[in-house]
Chain A
Amino acid sequence: MEAIKNALDFSDFPRNDMIIALFVAVFLLFFPLFSKSTFAMATVIQFLMFSLYGMGWNTIGGYGGQVDLGKAQYVGIGAYTTAVMLIRWDIPFWFSMPIGMFFAVCWSFIIGYPLFRLKGHYFAIATIATSLVLKDIFEVWDLVGASRGLEISPIKYVPPDFLRLIFNSDIYYYYFILVFFFIGILYVNWFRKSRLGFQLRSIKDNEDVARSLGINVHWAKVKTYAIATAFVSFVGSFHACYIKNLEPEDTMSLDLSILIALMAMLGGAGSLWGPIIGAAVLIPLKTYLKEWLGAMGGLLGIDLIIYAGIIMLVSAVEPKGIWGIVQKVRRRKRA
């Protein structure tokens, strides 16, 4: 009961923020009713998925300050578990998703336990290395379709299949992921005020002091890593049912890991709204740039040049992200 009350309690944000958030929530709820464009719909679904990825990353990377650049491996585990189970044994999403989550969390313990002894750069690069090892294994493993990948053919199922999450129209996927988007916000809102959340923030500020105060630093990190993994793996499972076509190159690439971390940082790591703002800026930018510029003949890669330019600008000029700018402006107003 206490936990639910805490999760619903947003009172430490200014009222204006909550009004804006409410507007956005209402907009998202009614978005499919007035948008006829399937491209816009797909973009918003991408936005919701990446906000959830970002929220997961934010628990360990933002609140905990442990930069993880290997989140794509958990996306891969979740997505492949769901897809393999559906294709081979016809196990529906609602059963395979928790199993995938379980596998991902187990894997996160296996690699997290030794890796959290490392700090800073060392940890970040080590997560990349494990992610690439796993990707290489998936590229030759026959059970998961090797480098050809897996494809869920929707023909076998009767379309509005709520058990297996196979739909004809994007609108079902939209509302499904939207519900979990709100649940994710409430969860992170509870998390940041929980015991573990406070422990993590103290670890981020000063690990030695945190340890001397009796916090089990290593265990707190491993636990939070598992929470982050569960988020990412869930969205991975959804990704399998939504995209229906999995390849190690898309699902587990380094670019995806970096994109997840980048969004949280662009919005403002270590804040509740950061990953959402980051995803809201970056995902439409990325998809529309690709649509407008990538299609132009001869200008290969120009969309990614602009995108990389934004990354460089943000990291050099305002590393606290958009939320950091907002807070700076507010502080100046108050003063």
Chain B
Amino acid sequence: MDILVGSIAAGILIGMVLALMALGLTIIFGMMDIVNFAHGEFLMIGMYTGLLTAQTTGMDPLFTLPVAAAVGFLLGVICYYGFIMFLLRGPMVAQLLGTFGLMLFLRNLALLFFGPQEMVVHKGILVGKSFDMGMGIIMPATKLAAAGLSVVAFAAVWLLMHRTKIGKALTATSLNAQGARYMGIPTERMNALAWAIGGATVTIAGALLVNFWYVNPYVGILFTMIAFAIVALGGFGSVPGAFFAGLVVGIIMEIPGIWDFFTYTFDSDWMAEVPMTSFKYMWVYAAYFVIMVVRPRGLFGWKR
């Protein structure tokens, strides 16, 4: 029982960070129907920003969020005006491959600057500490803080989207870009803003994630695929969908732990022999496939 509850709790915690990561992708997709393959690379840049700011200034990694957010904001704006704006005129094939090119570009740029070795955060207020919550749930403090801050950031974006004038303009642009332009909304600038918000949220998620996850230049593609799964499950373009789907995908990623629980409960030999930890991410991809086949709109989707 302990293992089961512990796995699910860990899944929910990581799921909150993953939801924040996927938020940017879903906003960008909802706005301009473009799939950003470089999303995981944005996350990687956020992770490096958090880590390196903490190392050079001696701050705690948790307090590097504003720096990461600024970097992500700028990155989004630069990417939009420098590249994506031209890409939007082309056909879909070009958009897919173009953002893939962006991904390769950022990844190898990171490789050039930071080298291929893995880096981890070693020191910080919360690193190494953990809370015992009873029922066998031991929560690393870093994960708890990351999850909490993710929820705060998520709520901030939700408020921005639903309670401010800018948010209304963003929503209008995503519903009908041409109509929004006629109403005097600068849609180009709104698109750029969507990229900026997307970039900022994903780099914040990266700076949170780096507290308990290694970072190397190749880490991006895994998170890109996870983000796609979350966005597909929640529905392309849906903000609350992304949050719940993030939790679900977080739990899916903990399937090996849940599998262990059933192995012990039933005490079965064949279950112990399945190399479940090697399949850790396969379930995420498989879930994506099943969702796309069964319900392409996703759970909360409004766009087809």
Tell me the smallest distance from the CB of A116 to a CB of chain B, in Å: 11
Interface residues on A, range: 35 or more
**A124: interface (CB < 8 Å):** yes
Q: Which of B51-59, B208-216, B276-284 contacts A (4 or more CB under 8 A)?
A: B276-284
Interface residues on B, range: 35 or more
Q: In the complex, are the beta carbons of B108 and A301 less than 8 A apart? A: yes
Main secondary structure of the interface of A (DSSP, over half): helix
Cβ-neighbour of B33 out of A121, A136, A258 (below 8 A): A121
Q: In the complex, are the beta carbons of B97 and A261 less than 8 A apart? A: yes
**Contact of A117 with B296 at beta-carbon distance under 8 Å, contacts A61-B93, A305-B112, A319-B93 already known:** yes
In the docked arrangement, what's the CA distance between A132 and B33, Å? Answer: 24
Closest to A147 in B: B278
Q: In the complex, are the beta carbons of B221 and A254 less than 8 A apart? A: yes
**Contact of A315 with B289 at beta-carbon distance under 8 Å, contacts A118-B296, A140-B278, A300-B115 already known:** no
Q: In the complex, are the beta carbons of B87 and A132 less than 8 A apart? A: no
**B232: interface (CB < 8 Å):** yes
**A84: interface (CB < 8 Å):** no
Cβ-neighbour of B225 out of A128, A312, A315 (below 8 A): A128
CB-CB < 8 A to A125: which residues of B?
A: 35, 228, 232, 288, 292
In residues 288-329 of chain A, which contact B (Cβ within 8 Å)? 299-302, 304-305, 307-312, 315-317, 319
Tell me the smallest distance from the CB of B36 to a CB of chain A, in Å: 11
**A137: interface (CB < 8 Å):** yes
Q: In the complex, are the beta carbons of A126 and B93 less than 8 A apart? A: no
CB-CB < 8 A to A121: which residues of B?
A: 33, 35, 92, 96
Q: In the complex, are the beta carbons of A126 and B288 less than 8 A apart? A: yes
In residues 64-97 of chain A, which contact B (Cβ within 8 Å)? 65, 67, 69
Q: In the complex, are the beta carbons of B101 and A308 less than 8 A apart? A: yes
Cβ-neighbour of A315 out of B33, B97, B217, B296 (below 8 A): B97
In residues 54-111 of chain B, which contact A (Cβ within 8 Å)? 83, 86-87, 90-98, 100-105, 107-109, 111
Q: In the complex, are the beta carbons of A316 and B93 less than 8 A apart? A: no
In the docked arrangement, what's the CA distance between A125 and B95, Å? Answer: 13
CB-CB < 8 A to A137: which residues of B?
A: 282
Interface string of B233-257 (1 = CB under 8 A from A): 0000000000000000000000000
The residue among B91, B100, B279 with the most chain A CB atoms within 10 A of its own CB is B100
CB-CB < 8 A to B93: which residues of A?
A: 61, 65, 67, 261, 265, 269, 319
Q: In the complex, are the beta carbons of A311 and B97 less than 8 A apart? A: yes
Cβ-neighbour of A136 out of B92, B112, B116, B282 (below 8 A): B282
Q: In the complex, are the beta carbons of A305 and B35 less than 8 A apart? A: no
CB-CB < 8 A to B232: which residues of A?
A: 122, 125
Q: In the complex, are the beta carbons of B97 and A265 less than 8 A apart? A: yes
In the docked arrangement, what's the CA distance between A153 and B1, Å? Answer: 50
**Contact of A133 with B98 at beta-carbon distance under 8 Å, contacts A125-B35, A300-B116, A316-B86 already known:** no
Known: A301-B111, A304-B111. 6 other contacts (CB 8 A): A65-B93, A126-B292, A133-B285, A139-B278, A316-B90, A319-B93
